[in-house]
Amino acid sequence: MSLEISIRKKLSSFELEVEFSIGDAEALALLGASGSGKSMLLKCIAGVERPDAGRIVLDGRVLFDSDRKICLTPRERRTGLLFQNYALFPNMTVYQNIFHSIRRERYSTLQIKQKADNAVSMMHLDAVRDSPVTAISGGEMQRTALARILVNDAELLMLDEPLSALDEHLKFSLEMELRDVIGNFGGNVLLVTHDRDQAYRFGSKIALVNRGKIEKIDSPANVFANPETVDGARITGVKNIAPASVENGRIRIPGWGLDLACDRLPAGCRSVDIKYAGIRMNDLKPAAVVPEFEDGAVFNFKIADVLSNVFSYTVKLYSSTAGAEALPLYWQVSKQIWEPCGTDNVDLYLRRDAVMPLKQEERSQ
C-alpha cells in the first residue's frame, strides 16, 4: 500500500503545507517540536480535520481532493489513529471496547464476535479480556486501543505520540510491544514524535517537521548525518551550533577555532548559503584513542566545566585559539574512555564529516 499527500491548511500561527509520498509498508516517523503541525497532519489524513486544499490518496483510493470535492468520512477512509490517551470507553471491559468498535454494517454478528475474539488473542489480551479498562496496565491499554484499530482492517496506522505520557520505566517495554505490532501490521505506518531516539528506531524514513513544513525526508541515518538546516539540527538533537562560513572548499567556525575541509553542502545549497555549522557532542574524540587522523584534525581546547552524568561526562570547552570571539563547545564522553585528571586543556580529534554545514531557513508568517 502507498500513501500520497499534498495538502494545505491555515493554522493560527502558520500554514500547514506538506507534500510527500511513502511506498508499500513503509513506516514514516514525523519528528518535530510540539506545535509544529505533526498531529494536525494525522487528523487531516484520518478525516477528523479538513484541509483547506490538496489531495490525499491511500493505495489508489482518493480520501480527499479539494478540486474534485471529495472528502470521505473517517469511517470510509479505513485509517486508524491512535491518540495519546488511547480514547477507550472507561465503562466497558477490554472485550467490549473491541467488540463495539467493529463496524456493524460490514459484518454479521457472528463475524463481529469472531473478529473480536481474534483481536484479543492477537494482542495477547486473553488474561484481561473481561477486565474493565480502568483496571489494566498501560501496556494492556495500548494493546486494547491498537486492537480497536486493527480489527476494522485499517490500511494505514497512525500513532500520535504513543509513549509521551508514560514514565521512563514503562516506555521501553511498551515500545518493544509497539514495534512488534508495527512489524506485523503489513501496511503503512505514520508515527508522530518529538523524541529523536524513538523516531530513529521506528521509522524506515524520518520527516523533519518545522512550522508546518517538511524540511527533509530521508533514511534515519541520512537525516541525522545531514539535517541541512539550523532548525533540523536542533530537532535531531544537535547541541553545538555556531556561526560558520564556507569558502574555497573549507568550513571556518571562528567561535570554536575550527577550520576544516568541507566537501558536502545541503541539497541545492551554495557555499554562500551556509551561515552555521553543527557538531554532535559525541562526535569529538580524545586524540589519544584515535589511531589515524586522515579524515579530520586535532584541536586543543580549554576545559571550562565538567558535568558528571550516570555513564558519561558533559564537558564545556573553549577553543585555545579563538580568543575573544570564543563560543562554548560541548563534548559528551563515556567515563570508560576519559576521566578528568586535573588538566586545564584537552586535545580532541574531529572528523571533517562530523561538521554539518547548515543553512538558516526563513520562516514565512
CATH 2.40.50.140 in the chain: give the residue spans.
230-359
pLDDT of residue 107: 85
Q: What is the pLDDT along the chain (365 residues), one digit of tens a residue?
A: 799 999 999 999 999 999 999 988 899 999 999 999 999 999 999 999 999 999 999 999 999 999 999 999 998 999 999 987 888 999 999 999 999 999 888 788 999 999 999 999 988 899 999 999 999 988 889 889 999 998 988 999 999 988 776 677 777 877 888 888 788 888 899 999 999 999 999 889 999 999 999 999 999 999 999 999 999 999 999 999 999 999 999 999 999 999 999 988 888 888 999 999 999 999 999 998 887 767 889 999 999 999 999 999 999 999 999 888 899 999 999 999 999 988 899 999 999 999 999 998 765 44
Edge-to-edge strand ranges of the sheet holding 53-58: 15-22, 3-10, 53-58, 61-65, 70-71
b/e sequence 35-54, b meaning 16+ C-beta within 10 Å: ebbbbbbbbbbbbeeebeeb
Q: Which CATH architecture has domain 3-225?
A: 3-Layer(aba) Sandwich (3.40)
pLDDT at position 266, please?
85
Total-model pTM: 0.89
What residue ranges of the chain are covered by domains with CATH 3.40.50.300? 3-225
Q: Which three cell numbers stand for residue 44?
A: 487531516
Look at residue 174 in the predicted model and tell me its pLDDT: 79
Tell me what pLDDT residue 364 has.
47
Contact 45, 63 (CB under 8 A): yes
Q: What does CATH list as the number for 230-359?
A: 2.40.50.140
